[in-house]
Amino acid sequence: MEKFLRPLGRQLTRPRPKYPYAVPAVSYARRYLTVPHTVPALKDKSLFIQKCFVNGEWVAAESGKSFEVQDPATGKTIGTCPEFTPEDTHHAIAAATTAFPSFRKTLARERARLLRRWHQLMLDNADDLATLITWENGKPFADAKGEVLYAASFFEWFSEEAPRITGDTIPSSIPGNRIITLKEPVGVCGFITPWNFPAAMITRKVAPALAAGCTVVAKSPSETPFTANAIAELGLRAGLPKGVVNIVTGLDNTPAIGKLLTTHPEIRKVSFTGSTNVGKLLMQQSSSTLKKLSFELGGNAPFIVFDDAIDLDAAVAGVVASKFRSSGQTCVCANRIYVQRGVYEEFSRKLAEKVKGFNLGHGFHEGITHGPVINERAMTKVAEHVRDAESKGGKIIIGGSKAEDLGLNFFHPTIITDMTKDMQLASEETFGPVAGIFPFETEKEVVELANAAEVGLAGYFFSKDVRRIFRVAEALEVGMVGVNTGIISDPAGPFGGVKQSGFGREGSKYGIDEFLTIKTVTFGGMGEPLQD
Ligand code: NAP
């Protein structure tokens, strides 16, 4: 087992292209010169932190080693972060372990106030946080600002949940016994999060963990570590006690850090958001100490437009929101767009019109609606899906190629019609700005196609027939359904998947359960009659 896991883990980490050396110098210079953006200065420069956060302090790796983080649009180095080893990570786990006994005893109201202060500080520093997100992730500044508000909303939501953690009193089936339950924090939690929402993926885990009274060691994504660092610094300013939240970073050492987080006996809970393959590896590793797990993994969302859709323009807007948000790099992005024959031509034409209006470019430029994809590996996958569809009869009606004149990782938003189920895009998450439109005839046929995927995170459909709405919503094998909308992310709604999209729910009133255990306390000899 050991032999099998190590090489697999290594193979699953992304090879990081060494910019600018990965592209020919001449063409790099040309590309760079055509992207004359400047990164806005942070209002609070102390939020740009190139260290790890351990026991309330900002520290480097003991070896002094670090790795570079690049702007995905230009390949320019933004800064460096510590290449933590498992030994360095041990210090973070020790800090979280030491902090747990006193943090778990804090009043829920006290933890709620901490989360509310943290929420407010995120709002107060929203522009700086959005700047960091756009810089390291590439998404347009307006989208980045939206992410900051969404990320902060988890602190607000779980500040409200913390004081409402209550147990039950349960009638016993044994005479004279009384049963109560206590909800207790699960313990030290290990988190691993991805780059596509550098702020929201981490706050969606940290907020419920702290509300429950847990402490945390989080490994932030190597492509986007600076946003997580700025959020941790704001947590420190909000009054985070030492060791309650620790943030570690690594690139080459990622598999080893992941191994430690999933096998260390003091870590009782692992929450991971990322790809299904890495999720499977982490689950195998976690089995050695049987940790409580929640996994938010890959999706390949079907988006169905029935010919009785209330309003085709609304369905087009739904696809634009769901498919092209973050240049197609969200786990709930529509990937397979199924359109019923009666409206197929009209829908495809309307969608192409909308996509023509997109403004692709560097996220800091005024008026930009869509940014780059994250790296060369993502570019390769997107190009491969387009080539594969074209070779099997798909028609590219807009886009279909790289936009090399704009910078490093830009791909033109693309629409392909006449898609068929044997194409790669039908069975694999593209994670890029490519909308493949599949024609279909009947409700039964499309639900079968939609459910053919191994994963089941989100699914969407547009229809005005209320009976069909219930039939289809109940038949789709996914964790979340959007009916007549392409936007489903909301701190109030449970977020998570079924099948190989993972298990567990984040956000909502259920999100906190992932960080609690139920202790049953049974009182015997309680059935005596009243005393004289
Ligand atoms: P990924 O490769 O699985 O990376 C995600 C995180 O896992 C990163 O922090 C990464 O660290 C870490 N990681 C990679 N290999 C590891 C290993 N062997 N051991 C421990 N940690 C490891 O995923 P991605 O391709 O970057 O992210 C996109 C995927 O995430 C998509 O499939 C998307 O659908 C999914 N996602 C799901 C949700 C959801 O809620 N269901 C939300 C967002 C994204 P490094 O950065 O250091 O490599």
Residue nearest to atom 26 of ligand 1 (CA): 194
Pairing, β 480-483 against β 57-59? unpaired
The response to whether residue 9 sits with its C-beta less than 6 Å from ligand 1 reads yes
Does the annotation mark 160 as catalytic?
A: no
Q: Decide: helix, strand or coil at residue 218.
A: strand
Residue nearest to atom 10 of ligand 1 (CA): 221
| Token pair belonging to 53 | 């956060």
Probe residue for ligand 1, chosen from 331, 333, 454 as the CB with the greatest number of ligand atoms within 8 Å: 331
Express each pLDDT in 5-16 by its tens digit. 333 333 334 445
Proportion of the chain above pLDDT 90, given as a percent: 92
Distance CA 405, CA 21 (A): 18
Distance CA 333, CA 321 (A): 8
Express each pLDDT in 375-393 by its tens digit. 999 999 999 999 999 999 9
Express each pLDDT in 238-253 by its tens digit. 999 999 999 999 999 9
Express each pLDDT in 170-221 by its tens digit. 999 999 999 999 999 999 999 999 999 999 999 999 999 999 999 999 999 9
Q: Which residue in the list 147, 156, 161, 296 is annotated as catalytic? A: 296
Q: Which residues pair with 456 in a beta bridge?
A: 498
Distance CA 167, CA 106 (A): 17
Which band of pLDDT confidence, cut at 50, 70 and 90, is reported for residue 31? very low
The response to whether residue 296 sits with its C-beta less than 6 Å from ligand 1 reads yes
Distance CA 477, CA 479 (A): 7
Express each pLDDT in 105-144 by its tens digit. 999 999 999 999 999 999 999 999 999 999 999 999 999 9
- pTM here is 0.92
The response to whether residue 86 sits with its C-beta less than 6 Å from ligand 1 reads no
Residue nearest to atom 41 of ligand 1 (CA): 296
pLDDT at 429 > cutoff 80: yes
The response to whether residue 192 sits with its C-beta less than 6 Å from ligand 1 reads yes
pLDDT at position 49 is 98
CA 278 to centroid of ligand 1, rounded, Å: 7
pLDDT at position 497 is 98
Probe residue for ligand 1, chosen from 278, 457, 490 as the CB with the greatest number of ligand atoms within 8 Å: 278
- H helices of 357-428, where? 376-391, 424-427
pLDDT at 310 > cutoff 80: no
Closest by CA to 197, choosing from 495, 407, 403, 434, is: 495
Buried b (16+ CB within 10 A) or exposed e, 41-56: ebeeeebbbbbbbbbb
Q: Decide: helix, strand or coil at residue 9.
A: helix
> What's the mean per-residue pLDDT of the chain?
93
List of domains in the chain: 2-30+299-483 (3.40.309.10), 76-297+501-519 (3.40.605.10)
The response to whether residue 294 sits with its C-beta less than 6 Å from ligand 1 reads no
